[in-house]
Amino acid sequence: MREAIRLSIKSVETGGGPFGAVVVHNGSVISRGQNRVTATNDPTAHAEIVAIRDACQQLETFSLAGCELLTSCEPCPMCFGAILWARLDRVWYANTRDDAAQIGFDDRTFYDEIARPLPMRHLPMHELLRSEAQAAFTAWQRLEGKTVY
């Protein structure tokens, strides 16, 4: 955790947001990430995502089962989704989402938006061409030897 915190401080010192994360496998840090949103003009470049991407490259797999994530702050909804998809075993965090909100990183609206039914969301979402899109799902279902994730 101290490494994640060190990375969060380093991120601030280099113009990024105050977030750092590491992925640990078999007791060793295998990847590090710090907030790179403004440095890369990538809104998905949160410390957790950066660390997850690097860990997957290091282990040459899309599954981080058997690994743990240590992050300087409770993950936002996007990072939480990535953590679930990566199949990490456990997450440790230092600062809370309330701590983050107090310094201007308030994810409450994102948590609230996800919880709303689709028709009530502030971001309009509309189904379009579902019947045509089903062709890809049908092809996937029929595909033999596919890698399930």
Q: Which residues are catalytic?
A: 48
DSSP structure class, residue 24: E
Say which residue the tokens 């702050």 belong to.
Answer: 73
Cβ pair 64, 86 in contact under 8 A: yes
Q: Give the per-residue SS3 of 78-111.
A: HHHHHHHHHCCCEEEEEECHHHHHHCCCCCHHHH
Q: Distances in Å between the alpha carbon of 112 and those of 45, 48, 76, 93, 107?
A: 22, 21, 12, 21, 9
The span from the CA of 128 to the CA of 123, in Å, is 16
68 within 8 A of 24, measured Cβ to Cβ: yes
